[in-house]
Chain A
Amino acid sequence: MKPPILIAILATVMTGTMIVMLSSHWLLIWIGFEMNMLAIIPILMKKFNPRAMEASTKYFLTQATASMLLMMGVTINLLYSGQWMISKISNPAASIMMTIALTMKLGLSPFHFWVPEVTQGISLSSGMILLTWQKIAPMSILYQISPSINTDLMTLMALTSVLTGGWGGLNQTQLRKIMAYSSIAHMGWMTAIIIYSPTMMFLNLNYINFYFYIKMSLYILMTLSTFMLFMLSASTTTLSLSHTWNKIPLIASTILTLMLSLGGLPPLSGFIPKWMIIQELTKNDMIVVPTLMAITALLNLYFYMRLTYSTALTMFPSANNMKMKWQFEHTKKMTLLPPLIITSTMLLPIMPMMSILD
């Protein structure tokens, strides 16, 4: 794609998300979602093979359905409350419909079936944008309507998402599918805590729920770093990733820390959101749900460990006779990769400072 066109399309994607995040009028939010979806379709189809077209079609169909459902919920809310502003939704039907629409956009269980298929069909860079940037807009709306979300529905969705993400990613060898299932599981963790965010009744915009934001930002950082490392080594399967020790040994060791951070192991950054979410859930008298979530997160950790085992902890047999391949300078532009890796793995010591945000 020519650079000016790519810049214009990416700008439209970003503008769409910004419109969603900054609006308080439901119609404008819906417009933002549509802009975002329509603009990301050419980005998903960067490669133009039949698989990418199939993935873009599936993405478009699910997102369009979700937008329609959202509009339906907005209209019902308009009918019952008489206004378009995003605030507490009085009608439970509208609230449930909006929740379902937004979780469909996010890829939460039971609407998660499109995530692995779409992520597998597109290139690594498009997958990176799909799994990180595209989650921001629906999450921000979920956060804004969080006082009106049906608690049981959300908790059930969160729990099933963590389960699905863990179970589904178990025997995958394709890296993009592994990242898709990891995204489903992490979204589950995020939505579990979103119901317990403090209400915005006093319109006190400084009073944010830092658990949710921390989880969101750390998840984006970790996923960005992982995708960038996969793009550097140009690997899309576990087997090709396991040959990186021969090409770029530094990536092999970085993937080790990054995968364990994604899995939520202390003392890496990925442990921070898990700890805080479990703490907050237990403060709200939920014992069974965080226990189940913590146990099923072990499934996630299992397949991350398998990846690290074959990549970093063992030297997989490769078809190369030399000890190490020639290491050339990287031609791929990996902007901000070192700071991303550091923030994804080493943020745990500054976690107590985050209570300043309270």
Chain B
Amino acid sequence: MALVLKFLNGTYIFRKCPKPNVASCPFLGTHFVDYCSSSLQKPVAAPGKTSSQRNSEGDLQGHHQREVALDITSPEEKPLVSFDKAIKDEIKDQFRRLKDDIVNHWIGPEGRPLHEVLLEQAKVVWQFRGKEDLDKWMVTSDKTIGGRSEVFLKMSRNNQSALLYGTLSSEAPKDGESGRSGYCAMISRIPRGPFERKRAYDWSQFNTLYLRVRGDGRPWMVNIREDTDIMQRKNQMYSYFMFTRGGPYWQEVKIPFSKFFYSNQGRIRDAQYQLLLDKISSIGFTLADKVDGPFFLEIDFIGVFTDPAHTEEFAYENSPELNPRLFK
């Protein structure tokens, strides 16, 4: 499945030779050459030489002769998709990633020496400086359930930040079962290793999330998901709120990981558990504040750091009524 997706990304285009005139060469039948040999259409060669070469080879192969200008592609040329080459390149890419993975495994955690990882106190995890940084995120809205919200993600001015913008509409979809609607979200893609294996971030030496954002005053929700090995974990999420201030100044939002509360299948649970930082899979921003209208959020970068003044381990209490198992 992953290979098919990659294949769609990496189509290979070959220039097709002009279609042969079947009437002029009845013997060849359907024997067309799908890709041009380099001698036939070399744009840098002198036109006279090329045409004579083409003439001679064209006679041999029975191709229809056409004078092709140096830089303009023929209108008959269509891009062809080469399945074999795409698959081969994809396999080579995966093996290269496997080799990198093995080498990084030897060097240390995350491919860096251990002392560097242990002494690190601040780390930029996601930043938006180019189109490839946007590919690490995906946006979703209630369009998937039939709503009318729209959300887009693009690079902002001077490629210094990403802009998440769109329109929120809390009009419920008319499918007979949804009562409420109106959400937009931007979720990071799960990091993948060789052969599309799921990887996770290890943020166990950090204790605070840092976001440099510029919003429009709307309250957003920051959601963190842990590594999904077992199916039931896909429904579990740790969230906290991010209140944006609007205005022309950038806002620095610091959320300690101890403040994240636990929810399962979209409902905040009575029994609360601490967010464990050794297997973080993805982070997401959700807007669902029931206010219709346009919105935007500009994100400069997202990082994690250790706040030495923050010693709280978990912000929420459990009581015997809420979580009786803990108090048995």
Which A residues contact B (CB, under 8 angstroms)? 1-2, 5, 48-51, 54, 57-58, 117, 120, 167, 170-174, 237-239, 242, 306, 310, 316-317, 319
Contacts and interface: CB of A to CB of B under 8 A. Distances in A.
Contacts, number: 64
Interface in B153-168: none
Interface string B260-295: 001000000001011010100000000000000000
A49 B274 contact: yes
A5 B184 CA distance: 48
Given A238-B114, A242-B118, 7 more contacts: A50-B233, A58-B229, A171-B107, A171-B114, A174-B202, A237-B204, A310-B118
B114 A310 contact: yes
Nearest to A173: B109
Given A237-B204, A237-B205, A310-B118, A319 B308 contact: yes
A1 B325 CA distance: 9
Given A49-B276, A50-B236, A319-B308, A171 B205 contact: no
Given A1-B328, A57-B230, A239-B205, A171 B118 contact: no
A15 to B, nearest CB: 22
Contact of B118 (A57, A58, A174, A239): A239
Nearest to B277: A237
Contacts of B110: 171
B81 interface: no
Contacts of A174: 202, 204, 278
B36 interface: no
The 10 tightest CB contacts between A and B, nearest first, are: A319-B308, A49-B273, A171-B109, A239-B205, A171-B108, A48-B325, A237-B204, A239-B118, A54-B230, A173-B109
B115 interface: yes
Given A1-B328, A54-B230, A57-B230, A171 B276 contact: no
A95 B106 CA distance: 37
A14 to B, nearest CB: 22
A124 B105 CA distance: 25
Contacts of B105: 167, 170-171
Contacts of A237: 204-205, 278
B4 to A, nearest CB: 27
A209 to B, nearest CB: 36
Contacts of B205: 173, 237, 239
A173 B308 contact: no
B326 interface: yes
A238 B118 contact: yes
A172 B204 CA distance: 12
A23 to B, nearest CB: 33
Nearest to B262: A50
Interface in B113-154: 114-115, 117-119
Most B Cβ at <10 Å: residue of A2, A167, A170, A172: A170
